[in-house]
Amino acid sequence: SQKASPGGTDLVIGREMGWTCGSHHANNPLVPTLPLPFGPNAEAFGMTGGGGNYGFADPAAGIAGGFVRNHYCNTFALSSYLVESLYGCLGNV
């Protein structure tokens, strides 16, 4: 995976996001108390969007997923927990 230059901390959310064209390649929790947003594998990447919309892919596990809310919500907790549950169902956590 390619990391965008110059990298560094995202000035809006205050976390390293590993920006590339259309996705994040730094699998850092958006909130330190939440599970990793793209699952347990370092190769996983994705994009969070306004209102809690979310998509990710994990080439190492061979899975991808997305979540679209039907209302605006200013939290990423649900998508992080859904990804954690997916890996738990697959036995990969």
38-71 pLDDT per residue, tens: 888 888 888 877 777 888 999 999 999 988 887 7
How far is it, in rounded angstroms, from Cα 58 to Cα 43?
6
Q: What is the pLDDT of residue 59?
A: 92
The chain-wide mean pLDDT, for the chain, equals: 77
* pTM for this prediction: 0.70
Beta bridge partners of 45: 57
Question: In this structure, are residues 78 and 59 in contact, taking their beta carbons and an 8 Å threshold?
Answer: no
Q: What is the pLDDT of residue 63?
A: 92
Q: What is the pLDDT of residue 80?
A: 84
Residue 36 has pLDDT above 90, yes or no: no
How far is residue 8 from each of residues 2, 19, 78, 84, 91, measured CA to CA in Å? 14, 9, 26, 26, 33
